[in-house]
Amino acid sequence: MSGTPAVVLVALRLYNTLTRRLEPLEPIRSGQVSMYTCGPTIWNYAHIGNFRTFLFEDLLRRWLEASGLSVFHIMNLTDVDDRIIREASARGTDIRSFTEPFARAFFEDRDWLRLRPAHVYPRATDFIDPMIALVQGLMDRGFAYQGEDGSVYFAIDRFPAYGRLSQLDRRELKAGASGRISADEYDKENAQDFVLWKAARPEDEAVGAAWDAPFGRGRPGWHLECSAMGLALLEREGLGPVLDIHAGGVDLIFPHHEDEIAQSCAYTGEAHFARMWVHGEFLNVRGSKMSKRFGNITTPRDLREDGVDPGALRLLLFQTHYRQKLDLTDDGLAAAREGCRRLGEFDSRLRRSETTPAGEENDFTPWGRNLEQKVAGALDDDLNAPEAVAAVFQASRDGNRLLDLGIFPAAADRDRWARLLGVLDILPAEAGAAAIVTPGGGSGVAAGALSPSPPADPAEAEAWAVAWAAARAAAKGSKDYKEADRIRALLAGAGWEIRDARDGRAEVRRVFP
C-alpha cells in the first residue's frame, strides 16, 4: 500500500514454537511479512474453535499492518482429504460439488466475524501440478520412496531435523515399512513415515479425487498440500522459499506442521520453511449451562442465528490470550455483549462530541497518547489482546469522565481511538455504520465504470465506497463470489470495510482514514 515507509521498526515479539521462546519478529525482507495460516478443511461448517484460531491470526495480521508492514497472507482451503472423499462418496457426488457450499459458508462466517480476507485462498485441487513436482523432487533427492501399495512416503530417518518443532524424542520415530502411515491424521505416539501421494483407489476415482503423476495415479496427502501451495505462492510473489510466519492451532503442531517442515526443507534445502511458528490454543464449549442450552451452538452461524453480536464475540475471544485455553460459556458471552455495548456507547459519544481545535492541548491529549502506548505495548508483547482490551475499557471510562466534565477530544485523539479500535474491531455491529447498501437497490453502476482508487475528497470517497459496495451486492446476487471477494479486498485496501447484515443488506464503514 502507498505510504508504507521504507524502513519499519517492528517492536513485535512472538512466542515461536520452534524455539519455545519469545522472539522479536525480524522480517526477511524489510517492511514485508509473508504469513501462511492453515485454513479449514471444507468438509463441514468450520466451528468456533477453528474460528478462534483464525481470529488470533486476524489480530496478528491487523497488528502487523497497523505497525506499517505490508503483509502477504495465504490461507489454504483443503478440498481433498480422507473425510471429504468419504462424505462425497456417501452422497454420490464429486469432491468439488461437495466442498463448494462449505467454502462459501466459510467466507460468509469469515465476513460475519470481520476477519480481514487473506490475499489468496488456494484450494488444494487447483495446485496438483506443484504437488506432483514436490513429490518428484523429494523422490529425486532420496527423501521419498514408493511403497509396495503404490503410494509415495516421506522417509523420516532421511531428515535429521524431523521432530524438532514438536520436540519428539527421536527414539520414538518409526521408519520404513514397519512404521508407515497413509492416513491424513495420526497421533504423536506414532511418528512414522507419512504419505505424500496416495495411490488411487476406485472410490477416489468415483468422486474425482485422482490425478495422473509420473509415480502413478493418485492424490496428494493432506500435509503435502500446505508445503506445495505455500512454496508455489511464495515463488509466484517473488518472496523466496521461506515464510516469515506460519500459524495455526496447537493441534496442527504434530504431525501436520512437523511434516510440512520436513517436506519443504528437504525440497528447498533451506533450514526453515517458516522462521516463526505461532500456535493458538483450543477453545472448549463446556460448562453445564452452556452445554444444555447451547447444545448445538458450536459454529459461528449458530451464534449468529442466536443473535450474538460479532463485536461481542471478538471481544470475548480476545479477553483470553491466544496461548491460553478458553472456555466459551453463557456468562462469558453475556458479559462480552454488555462490554461491547458500553464500548459502542462511548464510541458514538466520542464521535458526536464537540471537537477541540488542533494544536490546543487538554486532558484528552494524554488520554490518546496513553491509550496508544498501552495498546501498542500489549500487542507487541506476544499479541497480548486481554491487556489491550483492558486498556480500551480504561480509556472509555476515562473518556466518559472527560466528556462529563465538558472536555472534548481533538480530531487526532478521535483518530487514535478509531485506529486502535480498528485493529481489535470489537465494537457492536450497529455502531459506526456509514452507509447501508440494499441488494438490488444499488446505484446500478457496473464495476467496470468505477475507478479502483478512491477520490481524495472524503464525501466523494464515501460515495465511491458505496458504489463499489453496490457493485459487490450485484456480484453476490449473480453468485459471482470471486468478483464480490475482489471488491471487498479493493475496498479493504482503501480503508473501507464491508459487513454483511443478516437481512442481506451490507454496511460500508471507513476503518482508517
Nearer to Zn ion, 40 or 422 (CB): 40
Nearer to Zn ion, 27 or 40 (CB): 40
- Three-state secondary-structure class, residue 163: coil
Give the shortest CB-317-to-Zn ion separation in angstroms: 21
Measured between alpha carbons, how far is 510 from 418 in angstroms, rounded to an integer?
A: 10
Give the shortest CB-229-to-Zn ion separation in angstroms: 9
DSSP code per residue over 242-280: -EEEEEEEGGGIIIIIHHHHHHHHHHH--S-SEEEEEEE
Report which of 147, 116, 112, 124 is spatially closest to residue 41, judged by C-alpha positions: 124
Residues 6+ apart with CB under 8 A from 444: 470
Phi-psi region of 163 (alpha: psi -120 to 50; beta: other; left: phi over 0): left
Look-up of cell digits 505416539: 189
Note whether 279 and 248 are within 8 A (CB). yes
Give the shortest CB-81-to-Zn ion separation in angstroms: 11
Look-up of cell digits 508407515: 180
Q: Within a 13 Å sphere around the CA of 373, how many CA atoms are in the beta-carbon half?
A: 6
| Contact region with Zn ion (CB under 5 A), list: 6-14, 62-70, 221-229, 309-317 | 221-229
Q: Does 191 bind Zn ion (CB under 5 A)?
A: no
Nearer to Zn ion, 38 or 474 (CB): 38
Nearer to Zn ion, 227 or 320 (CB): 227
Give the binding-site size for Zn ion (rule: CB under 5 A): 2
Give the shortest CB-234-to-Zn ion separation in angstroms: 14
Give the shortest CB-175-to-Zn ion separation in angstroms: 23
The residue from 38, 152, 245, 467 that contacts Zn ion (CB under 5 A) is: 38
What is the dihedral angle through the alpha carbons of 470, 476, 480, 485, rounded to the nearest 10 degrees? Answer: 70
Nearer to Zn ion, 243 or 385 (CB): 243
| Contact region with Zn ion (CB under 5 A), list: 25-33, 34-42, 402-410, 497-505 | 34-42
Site for Zn ion in 388-447 (CB under 5 A): none
Give the shortest CB-320-to-Zn ion separation in angstroms: 24
Nearer to Zn ion, 38 or 88 (CB): 38
Give the shortest CB-475-to-Zn ion separation in angstroms: 30
Residues 6+ apart with CB under 8 A from 91: 98
Q: Does 278 bind Zn ion (CB under 5 A)?
A: no
Nearer to Zn ion, 278 or 376 (CB): 278
Give the shortest CB-39-to-Zn ion separation in angstroms: 8
- Three-state secondary-structure class, residue 146: strand
Q: Does 71 bind Zn ion (CB under 5 A)?
A: no
The residue from 88, 168, 224, 226 that contacts Zn ion (CB under 5 A) is: 226
Nearer to Zn ion, 115 or 247 (CB): 247
- Three-state secondary-structure class, residue 141: coil
Measured between alpha carbons, how far is 121 from 107 in angstroms, rounded to an integer?
A: 10
Contacts with Zn ion by CB under 5 A lie at: 38, 226
